Amino acid sequence: MYVNAGYADWELIVQTAFHFALSVLAIACPCALGLATPTAVMVATGVGAKLGLLIKGAEPLENAHKVKTVIFDKTGTITRGSATVAKLSLLTGSANTLAIVRWCSAALGGQSGLTCVSFVAAPGCGLRARLRPQGGGQPTNLVNFNNLPRSGTSFVVEGVPVEVVPPGRDAALSSAQAAARLHSLIPTDSPASGEEVEQVVLIGNREWMSRNGVTVPRRVQEAMQQDEELGRTAVLAAINDQLVCTIGVADEVKPEAHLAVYCLKKMGLQVCLLTGDNRKTAVAIARQVGINKVYAEVLPSHKVAKIQKLQEEGQKVAMVGDGVNDSPALAQADVGIAIASGTDVAVEAADLVLMRNDLLDVVACLELSRTTVRRVRLNFLFASVYNLLGIPLASGAFAMFGLQLQPWMASAAMAMSSVSVVCSSLLLKTFKKPTLEQLRTSEYLQSIHLEELDSVSVHRGLDERIDPSERGASPLAK
């Protein structure tokens, strides 16, 4: 192109070399490569915020697509977290049952007139309170209640079914000494003027009762197992080291939990339930939502150890929780997902926050991550194609065929590569969170009626051995 310009040969060589060098310098600028990841992450973060998915930076968004195991907490995550008393079992034997009912009904009505002198609570176990009564309350109306109910009868207090547990052959429930102690704990008559007797109240699980020296009889264990097999949390109550009742606390499973677990499994992920609750209650909840691997009776510190062990096996773990006891596990997991309605500590420790209390957003988080990573890879492809084709062309490799780029053309091509990468990233704005109707496919509806869970493997604490009593297959709860 400089042949007829009157230049010497060495001048032509220098000018041609400078021309090609300038074109290569312009088109080889790595702007597109540098924009490939940050633009996609920025758009994806904004899209997630609009969908109610708060993403704290690029790292959790990029790590989420590598997740192979998703671990759910139970209370407040799989379940609604609003516990209600579903059943009350009185452990009075031949004691004055009416005295117990009067005390319970007065407490339910907010008329117990008790003053708390001291209070101690152990997370995951129970509480111990020292109470000082200051006058009895009036009992509320009872339904199906006899003045002298016998063992095995039932009635209703404030809408809560109450059952009198028969003692059977259990001497701990039928002895006259137990009856006398209970009668002295909760007298039927009003206390004498000025009389105040402090009472120690224990409320908690079996381990808490054992720590405080309270023996749980066999018949009481059976009553608790009946509640746990229905997915309830069985809580024991004792006054002055004497068992009074068991309380069956029910926590309703979220309606979308089963569908969320189904979608995660369909994505090829392993789903586990990690809870500090009793193993029978945990298994009952797991069967309702379709989870076939359960870690029950796990302490908060053990949750962290369990996640560490999975990570040592090479698995990328996502933890979904909402409580204070979940925060160490959320921080340890590769991707910690917290529910915004949970505690502030959990939200702070998590990498992703679900602004809506909807487990289907967990599926949306993972889908958004996978879509973003695919878009980043496509951006790198665009940028690489520009360089692979543009640099040889700008360097004059095809000049003998009459194909060469002017420096301004190389600059325009470089700018176009950046524009193409940005436009490709902006296409992430078209991402839509799958709706409930889209996820409830005919395949899913058919699986509800036909699928049976594989044997549910239950592990207690950090023990990797499977509880043989829970290995049998069970039909998937509707």
Q: How far, in Å, are 27, 316, 410, 418 from residue 405 at the CA level?
A: 10, 47, 6, 18
443 class by beta-carbon count within 10 Å (0-12 exposed, 13-18 middle, 19+ buried): exposed
**Which among 423, 421, 401 is positioned nearest to 29, based on CA atoms?**
421
Q: How many domains does the chain have?
A: 2
Q: Which domain holds residue 248?
A: 82-133+155-176+198-252
CATH number at residue 334: 3.40.50.1000
Burial class (CB in 10 A: 0-12, 13-18, 19+), 130: middle
In this structure, the dihedral spanned by the alpha carbons of residues 258, 263, 265 and 267, taken in order and rounded to 10 degrees, is -170
Spatial separation of the C-alpha atoms in residues 356 and 390, rounded to whole Å: 47
Same-domain pairing of 323 and 436:
yes
Of the residues 213, 235, 252, the one at which a domain ends: 252
In this structure, the answer to whether residues 288 and 396 fall within a common structural domain is yes
- What pLDDT is attached to residue 440? 87
Q: What is the pLDDT of residue 324?
A: 86
Residues of the chain scoring pLDDT < 70: 1-9, 11-13, 19, 23, 25-26, 29, 31, 92-114, 124, 133-153, 157-158, 166-197, 390-391, 394, 396-403, 449-455, 461-478
Would 247 be classed as within a structural domain? yes
Query: What CATH number corresponds to the domain at position 97?
Result: 3.40.1110.10
CB 474 within 8 A of CB 285: no
- How many Cβ atoms are within 10 Å of 166's Cβ, its own excluded? 15
Token couple for 294: 């359960």
In a domain? residue 335: yes
**Looking at residue 114, what is its pLDDT?**
65
CB 339 within 8 A of CB 354: yes
Residues 263 and 322 in one domain: yes
Contacting residues for 237 by C-beta, under 8 A, at least 6 apart: 201, 202, 203, 243, 244, 245, 246, 247
CA distance linking residue 127 with residue 146, whole number of Å? 32
In the set 9, 73, 189, 344, the catalytic residue is 73
Quote the tokens at residue 403: 């194909």
Q: Which of 252, 278, 293 is the last residue of a domain?
A: 252
Looking at the domain assignment, is residue 189 inside a domain? Answer: no
pLDDT of residue 278: 79
pLDDT of residue 337: 94
Shared domain for 261 and 115, answered yes or no, is no
How far, rounded to the nearest angstrom, does the alpha carbon of residue 190 sit from its chain's CA centroid? Answer: 48
Q: Would you tell me the crossing angle of helices 360-394 and 31-50 to the nearest 10 degrees?
A: 160
19 within domain boundaries: no
Q: What is the pLDDT of residues 383-402, one digit of tens each?
A: 777 777 766 776 766 666 66
Report how far residue 446's alpha carbon sits from residue 39's, in angstroms, rounded to the nearest whole number. 41
* Per-residue pLDDT at 109: 52
**Residues 367 and 428 occupy one common structural domain:** yes
Q: Is 68 exposed, middle or buried (0-12, 13-18, 19+ CB in 10 A)?
A: middle
pLDDT at 139: 45
Catalytic, 326? Answer no
Assess whether 41 and 163 both reside in one domain. Answer: no
- 228 and 118 share one domain: yes
Q: 457 and 437, same structural domain?
A: yes
Residues 280 and 406 reside in one and the same domain: yes
Same domain? 309 vs 457: yes
> What's the pLDDT score for residue 184?
52
CA distances from 434 to 251, 368, 438 (A): 27, 10, 6
Distances (CA, A) of 240 to 59, 221, 432: 53, 20, 58
**Are the CB atoms for 373 and 62 separated by under 8 Å?**
yes
447 and 333 within one domain: yes
Q: Is residue 86 part of a domain?
A: yes
Asked if residue 91 and residue 50 are part of one domain, the reply reads: no
Q: Say if 10 falls within a structural domain.
A: no
* Full-model pTM: 0.70
